[in-house]
Structures are given as C-alpha cells and as structure tokens.
Amino acid sequence: MDRVIEVAVWFISAALTYEYFALPCVSAIYNVRYPTTSPTVVKLAYTLSFTAVLTAGEVILQKATRLVAYIHWSWYVSFISICIALQLSYLFYKWFTGGSVVGNKA
C-alpha cells in the first residue's frame, strides 16, 4: 500500500491534538453558531470560511515547519475532507438534538 503522508515521530502527539482536541472544539463552535435561519448562501459562506481557516492553518504549518510531508495529498483534499467533516458533525448535532437546534441569525 502506498503511503499518503509522512510525519515526524514526535509530531504524532501534535497531530493527535489536532484530530482529537482542536477539530472537535472547532466543530462544536461551528455547530452551535451555525446560521440555521439564514439563506443558503450565508450557510455556504459560513461553512467555507471555517474550512478555509482550518485548511490555511494546516498548509502554513506544513510549509513552515516541514514536519508533515504529503506524498499523495494536497491542500484541496484537506479542504474537501474538513468541509465534509463539519457538515457531518452538524448533521449529527441536528439528529442528536432531535432537530431542535437554536437558530442563529448570522
């Protein structure tokens, strides 16, 4: 099987921090502040802004530190996967609360 990513061994704790702490915290903020009563364009802009900030941070850290070397991966794959993860998180949030999420007017 081809490798997709190479990570410095000591960097694994930072990667786990991102996957198990930072992304869930950002997802929680995303879910709670989601503009449920706004038009679709605002919802799309909201989702893309969260995704862009997370992807930009990942790309900057990857290029500045050289701790992560992507082999068969690119920024746009991260962008798409983060966007999907946030949307799935929101769908789970809606399901878990029984669809009675408080609407935010953003």
- Divide the 106 residues of the chain into consecutive groups of 10 and give the mean pLDDT of each group: 58 63 90 93 96 88 72 85 94 87 55
pLDDT computed for residue 74 by the predictor: 83
The answer to whether 67 touches 7, Cβ cutoff 8 Å, is: yes
Q: How many helices (H) and strands (E) does the chain have?
A: 4, 2
Residue 103 lies in a domain: no
CA distance 59 to 10: 19
Instruction: Copy the structure tokens of residue 103.
Output: 């609407």
Does the pTM of the predicted model rise above 0.85?
no
pLDDT computed for residue 85 by the predictor: 93
* Structural domain of 13: 5-96
Residue 92 lies in a domain: yes
Residue 104 lies in a domain: no
pLDDT computed for residue 71 by the predictor: 72
CA distance 106 to 97: 21
